[in-house]
Amino acid sequence: MFILRCVKRFISYLMFVVSSPFVKREKVGLKNLSFEELNIKDSVLSAIYTMGYEKPSPIQKETIPLILSGRDVVGQARSGSGKTAAFGIPLVEMTNIADRSVQALILTPTRELAEQVAREISNIGRKRGVRVCAIYGGMPIEPQIRRLQGGVHVVVGTPGRILDHLRRKTLNLRSIRVIVLDEADRILDMGFIDDISTILFFAKNRKQTLLFSATMPYEVINLSRKYMKNPITVKISQDELIVKHIDQYYVETVPENKLKVLKRILNEHREEKILVFCATRRKTNHIAWKLKQSGYFVFRLNGDMTQSQRNWSLESFRKPGSKILVATDVASRGIDVPTTDLVVNFDIPRNLKDYVHRIGRTGRFDRRGKAITIITQRDHSFLRKILRTNKMEKYYFKK
Ligand code: ADP
Ligand code: MG
């Protein structure tokens, strides 16, 4: 089995190497570029500094010039390394303010991520006068139509609702220049691929296609070539499944005691902002309810809730202070709450890639993070899989 998997991976890698003549590898440290040296307009620079960004991160240094030069780019760098601004800054820079039609479209796998990315791009583009709009399902369509009619330069949205607007002709991609797939490997997987191909067909006038994610399997890069022109790959992590800036622990227990163990963990991290992942929507409801009953300050986030409840939960979690958010994997991709101290996996994720995205909700940008995974005997094979690539220690309670 193992040998077969290795052979498959090797073949896949060979295909990748053969089909990607323009692979650019990490050059971190060679250039100590500042934002000024990236040739961006004063209005954008001033907005970036107002946001508190002093120096570009490695992925930003590498991809901003490439995107500005008009290239198609596949960008891979770890969670929390500033990928949003890596495409957001050049998008804002290239926007023709005088033309009030949609020039850039960014697709994200979740509604919360669409909202977050729209906010970041809107901040970057504030002083240039770039108009940004988030378009996602679960919210009334009329206000979105009115916003679009009022003229927007950049649209950030989830595939289903974007397609809905395209079919109603309330979103027009005639002047589209750039399309970005954020969390590209998720966006290009089975659940979304049909919608994405249709949207890309609507956006056939585009000049550039950009793909960003912390994990970029060769299969996805190969698939993406269908939609991209002579893309250049910027890969910042040597092995994207290795996470070094997060201290990782596991606690073993029996299924009946998982909640008790979770409470002990929460009690030992009382002053912290904690994100707890569960496997299903029902489980998040159940665990959040149990914790609330025991007096914890807890919010929940899952696909069963109405969108306004979901937005309210995440906004509450973002506010300063120690609190707990119990969520499904809807929160595992892209969500940036920089002050999150701890991620707890109440249930193990489906695979190693999801594990890397989940724990990546802590340790954002230049911070360190901490993650604790609760396991039972049946999770041993998953634990071994993590241990093959990541340093993980047994968690000891203080008393
Ligand atoms: P990623 O998409 O790579 O997971 P994000 O784009 O969400 O990461 O950025 C992670 C955090 O880093 C955000 O809080 C963002 O505001 C911050 N950030 C991005 N670029 C910079 C920078 N150059 N300097 C300081 N902070 C930054
Ligand atoms: Mg991101």
Q: What is the pLDDT of residues 241-285, one digit of tens each?
A: 999 999 999 999 999 999 999 999 999 999 999 999 999 999 999
Q: Sorting pLDDT into bands at 50, 70 and 90, what band is 85?
A: very high
Atom of ligand 1 nearest to the CA of 55: 23
Mutation choice for ligand 1 from 81, 91, 106, 236, CB with most ligand atoms inside 8 A: 81
- pLDDT exceeding 90 applies to what percent of the chain? 88
Q: What is the mean pLDDT of the chain?
A: 93
Cβ atoms 187, 109 nearer than 8 A:
yes
Residue nearest to atom 10 of ligand 1 (CA): 80
Query: Does residue 80 line the site of ligand 1, with CB under 6 A?
Result: yes
- List domains and CATH numbers for the chain: 11-237 (3.40.50.300), 242-394 (3.40.50.300)
Query: Does residue 338 line the site of ligand 1, with CB under 6 A?
Result: yes
Give the pLDDT mean for 204-216.
Answer: 97
What is the pLDDT at residue 18? Answer: 45
Phi, psi of 163 (to 5 degrees): -65, -40
Mutation choice for ligand 1 from 364, 366, 367, CB with most ligand atoms inside 8 A: 364
Query: Does residue 87 line the site of ligand 1, with CB under 6 A?
Result: no
Amino acid at 190: M
- Residue 17 pLDDT > 90, yes or no? no
- pLDDT exceeding 70 applies to what percent of the chain? 92
- 236 alpha carbon, closest ligand: 1
Q: How far is the CA of 203 from the centre of ligand 1 (A)?
A: 28
The C-alpha atoms of residue 355 and residue 350 are separated, in whole angstroms, by: 8
Instruction: Record the tokens describing residue 277, joined without a space.
Output: 């992942």
Long-range contacts of 301-304 (CB under 8 A, 24+ apart): 301/112, 301/325, 301/326, 301/327, 301/328, 301/330, 301/331, 302/327, 302/328, 302/330, 303/328, 303/330
Q: How far is the CA of 89 from the centre of ligand 1 (A)?
A: 12
Instruction: Record the tokens describing residue 123, joined without a space.
Output: 């901040």
Q: How far is the CA of 367 from the centre of ligand 1 (A)?
A: 11
The C-alpha atoms of residue 44 and residue 55 are separated, in whole angstroms, by: 14
- Residue 14 pLDDT > 80, yes or no? no
- Residue 156 pLDDT > 80, yes or no? yes
Q: Sorting pLDDT into bands at 50, 70 and 90, what band is 23?
A: very low
Q: Which residues pair with 299 in a beta bridge?
A: 325
- Residue 41 pLDDT > 60, yes or no? yes
What is the pLDDT at residue 280? Answer: 98
- Quick: pLDDT tens for 181-209: 999 999 998 889 999 999 999 999 999 99
Query: Does residue 202 line the site of ligand 1, with CB under 6 A?
Result: no
**Across 22-149, where does the E strand assignment appear?**
23-25, 73-76, 104-107, 132-135
- Quick: pLDDT tens for 293-336: 999 999 999 999 999 999 999 999 999 999 999 999 999 999 99
What is the pLDDT at residue 19? Answer: 45
| DSSP single-letter state for residue 128 | T
What is the pLDDT at residue 27? Answer: 44
Query: Does residue 81 line the site of ligand 1, with CB under 6 A?
Result: yes
Q: How far is the CA of 382 from the centre of ligand 1 (A)?
A: 30
- Quick: pLDDT tens for 108-138: 999 999 999 999 999 999 999 999 999 999 9
Give the pLDDT mean for 143-168.
Answer: 98
- Residue 29 pLDDT > 50, yes or no? no
Give the pLDDT mean for 173-188.
Answer: 97
31 compared with 89, residue with greater pLDDT: 89
Query: Does residue 58 line the site of ligand 1, with CB under 6 A?
Result: no
- Residue 8 pLDDT > 80, yes or no? no
Atom of ligand 1 nearest to the CA of 334: 4
How many of the other CB atoms lie within 10 Å of CB of 338?
A: 14
Instruction: Record the tokens describing residue 389, joined without a space.
Output: 């690539």
Give the pLDDT mean for 224-239.
Answer: 94
